[in-house]
Amino acid sequence: MQTESVFVGHRVPWNKGKLTGQKPSLKLREIWAIRTRLQMTSNLRGLAMFNLAIDSKLRACDLTWLQIQDARHGSRVASRATIMQQKTQRPVQFEITEQTRESLEAWIEARRLKAGDFLFPSWLHTSPHLSTHQYARLVPRWIASIGRRMVPTRCAAQKLR
């Protein structure tokens, strides 16, 4: 009986030297610094989106798909909302703090958004809502605005979860 010897070369693991697992979240003082920076620059959409991302802990795909009627009941933003998650197809309920409600109201009024509109419309006319890619470009800008460098291997767009 003849046996074949197979040469198995040394393989480097794909994750060698890479930080894997859960990404570190923002500290409370960093959250407040970003909020303050967005308020100082009068960035209504950024402030509303950041506040809602912090309150809801939604994935980027769910946050960008929110419509006005998901957060607003009648003429006021609700203190609680329930949506169906895209990934899990399960409902998730979250509180909307007073500060977030105020920033959402200011954003909705400034853009004159209606019940059937997406909460965060796209910058591009080809899409009705902000894409997850566009959202992923905003998060590092917010973090950089407070002087913290966002290392791609350590951070992700879902960092706000």
pLDDT in tens, 53-89: 999 999 999 999 999 999 998 889 999 999 999 899 9
For 94-132, b/e burial (b = at least 16 CB within 10 A) is eebeeebbebbbebbeebebeeebbbbeeeeeeeebbbb
pTM (two decimals): 0.79
At residue 148 the predicted structure's pLDDT band, cuts being 50, 70 and 90, is confident
Stretch 9-20: mean pLDDT: 80
pLDDT value of residue 47: 97
Stretch 33-50: mean pLDDT: 96
26 is a domain residue: no
59 is a domain residue: yes
Range of the domain at 68: 33-156
Q: How many Cβ atoms sit within 10 Å of the Cβ of residue 52?
A: 26
Stretch 83-96: mean pLDDT: 93
21 is a domain residue: no
pLDDT value of residue 21: 74
Residue from 133, 118, 16 nearest 71 by CA: 118
pLDDT value of residue 71: 92
Residue with tokens 């949506």: 83
3 is a domain residue: no
Note whether 96 and 81 are within 8 A (CB). yes
Can you say whether the dihedral through the CA atoms of 74, 75, 77, 83 is positive or negative? positive
Give SS3 for 56: helix
7 is a domain residue: no
The CATH number of the domain holding residue 113 is 1.10.443.10
37 is a domain residue: yes
4 is a domain residue: no
Give SS3 for 76: strand
Number of domains in the chain: 1
18 is a domain residue: no
Residue with tokens 């419309």: 121
Residue 118 has pLDDT above 60, yes or no: yes
